A and B are shown apart, each in its own frame.
Chain A
Amino acid sequence: MVNPILLIIVPLGTAFLISLTASFLKNSTKYLALLAMIANVWVSIKLLPEVMQHSINVVIAGVKPPLGINLFVGPSGAVFSILISAAGLLILLYSFKYIEGDSQHKYYTLFLLLITGSHGMVLTGDVFNLFVFFEILAISSYILVGYEGKRNGLEAAVKYLILGSIGSVLILVAVALIYQEAGTLNMADLADKFGMIDPSKRLMILVFFITGMGVEAAVFPLNSWLPDAHSSAPSSISAMLSGFVIEVALIVIVKFVYSIFAMTEILGFLSLVAVITLLVGEFAAFKQANIKRVLAYSSIGQIGLILFAMSLNSTGGINAGLMQIVNHTASKSILFLVAGFLIVRTGSYQISDYRGIAKKMPVSAFFFVIGVLSLLGVPPFFGFFSKLAIIIAALHTGSIFNTVMVFLVLLGTVIESIYFLRIIQVMYNRDGIVDSVKEAPFLPLLAIAAFAVVILAGFLVLPQITGYTGGVASEIVRKMQMAQVF
């Protein structure tokens, strides 16, 4: 058996190693990062079949929970680990050609710490440990957003940092109240004891936790940082932030609501918030002229869609939401990564400056179209199946509220398709105004192509994928129990 703790300590140790060797390895430190990511992908792939049989519980420092910290690797942890490490590996390959300058080792250190934080958040079985990994994730993303040192990036990073700090204060209040009321920090133990807490205090803990984590997950009133941060970060980082960071925060919220707090009565409120998030995101994206802002607002819309599916209070809904997460990770990564080289080659963020660029950068433009079609849910791309699953799951609940919501979700998709097809129309315009533009280098295109393969081949392995996501869904719906874990 491979030990899941490797998923956390390998990138973390490599980050320290890069800091140790940076003075003489210089920019070759990126190959260390590559090795760490390959190891991570290998470990997470080895883990998946084992975890599907039975969850793995890793004890740290030889102390049995609830006294010590443990890692609890259920299907959700394993599936998200694969998502994080695979997307991370591909985006790392892309970064090799995209990130330039002479202190690159700092970028790769931050990159690995971002991966460490995401793995930690999905694997840990302890509430306070979750907070620590949340901070690692958040701080490394603040720095990476402002990494280029340009004015826009710094403004966005400061804004992100201030809102994120408020969020972490709220999470910490929730953790303190949990310890005060339940006397434990272990998630499974907490799930056992949570029901005994006074209901009004339970609600307060839940509100603090969801509000705090909702800042990172970009749920509607708390998401004003996202369009700035995701649009002014380096494109490789935008792809990570949109591709899995917000989803990780979202899945933590969902896990707490269903399997730890077991307070499904607030799901109605969450699905309302989700649909508002979706509509706000899509309407705002419609008005943007900056390509990265379009993509960032579209991420808000997608996160609303995912949250809507996840708050349907059914296994089918969560399953559909997870499929949509896979689809969003792959297709939004493609779009951000392509946008990265569009910006580098043309020197402009404005969509109108890309007129006719498909002639000069045919491969990039082709992948962009694939990403868009899958995001919109056009058959036979993977996005079609995930969106279909969401609609089926929503109609399956049979409530009028959800039917109305489905109508609004479809309205959002229509808006989404209008603004995305407008971009494609500009890119494939015949009388191009761009000339002397080169195609993106081979390595980034290879990374983008790998994401595209996931989308295209997704429907061939659909039963396998839904097998895994179904396993995750049934794990999340079930309440955690100390007795089952140990």
Chain B
Amino acid sequence: MRKVISFLLLAGFVFYFATLTGGLLIPDSSADRSSVGLDILSRSADETGSANAVTSVVVLYRGFDTLGEVTVLFLAALGISVFMKSTGEKRKKVLDQSFILKTGSRLLFPLMFLFGMYIIAHGHLSPGGGFPGGVIIATGFFVILLTSESVNFNKTLMSVLEGLAGLSFIGLGVVGLLGPGNSFLQNFLPLGTFNTVFSAGIIPLIYAVVGIKVGAELSSVVYAMKESK
């Protein structure tokens, strides 16, 4: 009965939604479309010095959203640590991993770490940035956690890193607030040469902070999930 009702309800929804949005087609050229995004596109390169317009939107134009987004991840990691309190006792050995797997994962980790750093450092030049880079670094930790029975994982260090990275994000914002622009997250550094690594003012700095934070948070999420029974 519940299935029938929800099916009818949702079918009505589809019909309503499709008739309204189906007739509305996305224009073929930018000429007949005006939006905030296209305005930003035409000025972001000059204003922010970032070659990647999406990055300039993420970090500066909508940087406050990114601060909130990092907070949501922080919250999720915190929530998981509230619910998955480490039971203290060591997990039983499930499988003795082979020597090749263990060594291979340890060899892989520095490479993945380096690649993540590369992605973070080039966020303002190419697709990438703090979020993907942080995820790649966390994946490196994940590979080691999966293959090794005991890892020296310093939980305190991770929570210190999370807090420090979050505070630095706000700190960078507050410097802008106190500076001449008098606006939170204002770009206070010189823009540098367009399309080089050292350019775009505070964008690479903020992305580095975001990368550290995302990496630390996801690693501790994965660790908490593994440690709990």
The answer to whether any beta carbons of A and B sit under 8 Å apart in the complex is yes
Chain A residues packing against B (C-beta within 8 Å): 3, 5, 9, 12-13, 15-23, 58-63, 66-69, 103, 106, 109-110, 113, 116, 120, 128-129, 132-133, 135-136, 139-140, 142-143, 146-147, 149, 177, 179-180, 183-186, 189, 200-201, 204
13 more CB-based (< 8 A) A-B contacts, given A63-B47, A110-B78, A132-B69: A5-B184, A9-B184, A12-B67, A16-B164, A20-B160, A20-B163, A22-B159, A67-B36, A139-B76, A143-B75, A186-B36, A201-B24, A204-B17
Q: Is B6 an interface residue (CB 8 A)?
A: no
Q: How far is the CB of B70 from chain A (nearest CB, A)?
A: 10
The answer for the CA separation of A103 and B82 in the assembled complex, in Å, is: 9
Residue from the list B47, B163, B187 in contact with A19, Cβ < 8 A: B163
Residue from the list B24, B71, B79, B156 in contact with A12, Cβ < 8 A: B71
A133 near B185 with CB under 8 A, answer: no
Contacts of A129 in B (CB 8 A): 62, 64-65, 68
The answer for the CA separation of A132 and B65 in the assembled complex, in Å, is: 7
Residue from the list B35, B39, B187 in contact with A179, Cβ < 8 A: B35
Contacts of A177 in B (CB 8 A): 21
Q: Is B186 an interface residue (CB 8 A)?
A: yes
A143 near B61 with CB under 8 A, answer: no
The answer for the CA separation of A166 and B9 in the assembled complex, in Å, is: 15
Q: Mark B156-194, 1 if CB is under 8 A from A, else 0.
A: 100110111011001001101100010111110000000
* Residues of B within 8 A of A (CB-CB), count: 53
A20 near B164 with CB under 8 A, answer: yes
Q: Is B98 an interface residue (CB 8 A)?
A: no
A62 near B176 with CB under 8 A, answer: yes
11 CB-based A-B contacts, threshold 8 Å: A5-B177, A13-B166, A19-B163, A58-B183, A63-B47, A67-B61, A135-B68, A136-B68, A183-B34, A183-B35, A204-B17
Q: How far is the CB of A308 from chain B (nearest CB, A)?
A: 27
On whether A17 and B163 interact (CB within 8 A), knowing A61-B186, A128-B62, A183-B36, the answer reads: yes
Q: How far is the CB of A135 from chain B (nearest CB, A)?
A: 6
Chain B residues packing against A (C-beta within 8 Å): 16-17, 20-21, 24, 26, 33-37, 39-40, 47, 60-65, 67-69, 71-72, 74-76, 78-79, 81-83, 85, 156, 159-160, 162-164, 166-167, 170, 173-174, 176-177, 181, 183-187
A136 near B163 with CB under 8 A, answer: no
B35 near A17 with CB under 8 A, answer: no
Residue from the list A5, A15, A61, A189 in contact with B63, Cβ < 8 A: A61
